[in-house]
Structure 1
């Protein structure tokens, strides 16, 4: 365990250094973006995916996406999602997949009418390819990832290792945010989402990935810290990532991360004996105290503005009429588009263009649920039902998956405030479909039912 601890510490240090190097030489971000899939593919090919290497590589890509986007490393907005799809397909070639995963192939089929409609009715000045890819890449990434992970057997310890691999580049993101803006107090002037504390990138996406990081390092701290040094390291990472998430002033990711932790504690408590319930209670108490400490420090650094943000108030303490940052109007517009086009919808990617006509300005969907309804109509409803119900049905016989509820909640809440602009909700959703076991027979680790 000592060697593992040293290795983990070194990995954390390396990823902090990566942030420093790219902050100093931004061009290296593009090199970083190229090296990851190359090294990942060579690792998968060398081991022929015997240990689900594709999941480790994909997890790392998901964790690093926001960092690459904020530092200019992404070659386009769909770069990571496309690469994740590629690696999932590679994994299927090496390790097959469950025939019962056809339900997600059917989900992909349900997207076709909306794509076809866009290709036939889009205006001449509309970039059809861009409109379709921007809106469909997320659902496709989810479906392909789900097909690979559907009921794939995996030990709980391996699942945690996948989360750690995802969490390492989130450390890089948090360190880069500190370098970009070391003094929060100097840049916070109002209660709006803050681009300065978000590395100059979209606070919503930054908050989302940091919220996921909160959950990852909480699990490391509570379930996998085997020494005092590890506890201190994971405790520091949890506090650091949580603080940087809160000061983005984007509430969605922080609330989601907190609810993921609550879901985990709920399942831990539910399946524990009397002694275990006492330990969970102690963890809950310590978590509450840590939360109070982080919030108090954040409040001091933001001169009380963070409380006003979460109370939906402006800088003068007046309650805002709009609770969701303009999302209500977009969601209302999507609902109207659905009611006007209930069968086929308006076509994949056409919602943005029609919102411009209705609202007077371009507005991309922040809510994947209303987008599916508006752009895919009845087919979108069927697709949404598949996504909502399939994981719940699998969980009935998959009770050892301690993270199931947390993963499901992350996906559901994230697509409601940030749609599927990054790969994280798609990949984490698919992780909920894994058949997680505490003990697993040899030679069964890469199998599917």
Structure 2
């Protein structure tokens, strides 16, 4: 084995060890949470961010967030977002940012009117600081990350290193889930989202990060498995992460991960030569067989309940009235609220209180798009348009960014089922804004070599 293969396997082994250590000694999770930004900060300081180390450190933090939260390592729910924001600001200090990123300064300015409405509330039962932090930490993290990454030039290999920085702690998460609940069959009794198979943490967020992990290791499997041993290792990791994602019984993250993979395959097919396209049948067949194997095994382990979950049925096989676990009702309320307050909205973070007072529904929104409408009004529409259009416009001059559409769809689908509770959608959206340094012909050549 060459040195790169040995190093890769060694890093995987370290992250397997982290999962085992934290499972045996839970207090190590807090030490892990402290060490990541400390070691990362030292790395950035030593290199003066010459190779965009802040992105690598932030990527690792994003990948580790759910693991830290489920094991009690986080100082608070916004810890990782705050760390990412700080590292991005440090990166700007060392490396500056594009003047064209002004569009995301505009995005931030458009948030201010709703913030002013919230701060002016006379409802003393509302903790203004808490609701603002909870609802705006995600958009703020996205904007700061986007300002730093906007048209920042990196190579495709450097982008893959960033993905692996996300992926390694996701592998740790997956191993921890197995240690926490080795027997899925014993704890699955219905078709609702399952906390036992999600490490005792929110299945929606676990599913989201594992869905991202599915994509990360699939890219490693299909593009960077140069030897048989790497192909076996990466293939097994894809299967394992996908299996644990599915058995959370939270569909959003799995569907998102599958969507990202499908988009990647379409892009790779487009970039491959006529000769390689002829071999693409094997790629599609192998991917399909892997998916079938995962699904069949999961169905056996859950006694067929997973099939009922995705068919929107309960354990008895009866079709459920709602398809989104009650989220439709919240979305309807948010849309009604928007039409009643179309210009300024009801104020950032005030949606939950308004729903409680007027509709008797005391639950936070899972949909960032309808939340932006109800709480930010017309300004929210402008902000959403900025987010929706900008990556697509950049694509015309950045066609060599093979992952752009996959990153874009991860952000778009995630904010529609899990809002921005974790930093992943904000950070991955920003990765779609990076400029990949290579000509289109060079990118096609790399794809052909990888797939040959």
Do the structures match in fold with TM over 0.5?
yes
Residue 301 of structure 2 corresponds to which residue in structure 1?
Answer: 301
Which shifted more, 224-233 or 238-247?
224-233
Contact 1:122 1:128 in 2 (8 A): no
Residue 259 of structure 1 corresponds to which residue in structure 2?
Answer: 259
| Count of paired positions | 440
Residue 141 of structure 1 corresponds to which residue in structure 2?
Answer: 141
Contact 1:117 1:346 in 2 (8 A): yes
1:24-43 matches, within 5 Å, as 24-43=24-43
**1:15 and 2:15 correspond:** yes
Residue 95 of structure 1 corresponds to which residue in structure 2?
Answer: 95
Contact 2:369 2:416 in 1 (8 A): yes
SS of 1:186's partner is coil
1:305-320 matches, within 5 Å, as 305-320=305-320
What is the distance in 2 between the residues matched to 1:327 and 1:368?
Answer: 12
What is the distance in 2 between the residues matched to 1:71 and 1:438?
Answer: 41
Residue 62 of structure 2 corresponds to which residue in structure 1?
Answer: 62
Residue 417 of structure 1 corresponds to which residue in structure 2?
Answer: 417
What is the distance in 1 between the residues matched to 2:204 and 2:233?
Answer: 27
What is the distance in 2 between the residues matched to 1:278 and 1:19?
Answer: 42
Residue 78 of structure 1 corresponds to which residue in structure 2?
Answer: 78
Residue 401 of structure 2 corresponds to which residue in structure 1?
Answer: 401
What is the distance in 2 between the residues matched to 1:361 and 1:236?
Answer: 43
SS of 1:406's partner is helix
Structure 2 CA distance for partners of 1:353 and 1:223, relative to 1, 3 Å: same
Residue 185 of structure 2 corresponds to which residue in structure 1?
Answer: 185
What whole-Å deviation, never above 9, does each CA across 1:76-103 have from its counterpart, x for those lacking one? 1111001100000000000011000000
Residue 235 of structure 1 corresponds to which residue in structure 2?
Answer: 235
What is the distance in 2 between the residues matched to 1:434 and 1:399?
Answer: 11
What is the distance in 1 between the residues matched to 2:35 and 2:358?
Answer: 44
**1:247 and 2:247 correspond:** yes
What is the distance in 1 between the residues matched to 2:158 and 2:344?
Answer: 42
1:100-119 matches, within 5 Å, as 100-119=100-119
Q: CA deviation at 1:361?
A: 3.4
Uncovered stretches (5+) of structure 1, i.e. residues with no partner: 441-449
Q: CA deviation at 1:279?
A: 2.8
Q: Which runs of 4+ in 1 moved over 4 A?
A: none
**1:173 and 2:182 correspond:** no
TM-score in terms of structure 1 length: 0.97
What is the distance in 1 between the residues matched to 2:55 and 2:372?
Answer: 27
Contact 1:176 1:199 in 2 (8 A): yes
Contact 1:327 1:366 in 2 (8 A): yes
| Alignment root-mean-square deviation, CA | 1.0
What is the distance in 2 between the residues matched to 1:384 and 1:375?
Answer: 13
Residue 280 of structure 1 corresponds to which residue in structure 2?
Answer: 280
Contact 1:249 1:309 in 2 (8 A): yes
Structure 2 CA distance for partners of 1:112 and 1:269, relative to 1, 3 Å: same
TM-score in terms of structure 2 length: 0.96
What is the distance in 2 between the residues matched to 1:159 and 1:349?
Answer: 34
Q: CA deviation at 1:362?
A: 1.4
SS of 1:255's partner is helix
Structure 2 CA distance for partners of 1:227 and 1:78, relative to 1, 3 Å: same
What is the distance in 2 between the residues matched to 1:122 and 1:368?
Answer: 25
What whole-Å deviation, never above 9, does each CA across 1:124-163 have from its counterpart, x for those lacking one? 1111000000000000100000000000011100000100
Uncovered stretches (5+) of structure 2, i.e. residues with no partner: 441-452
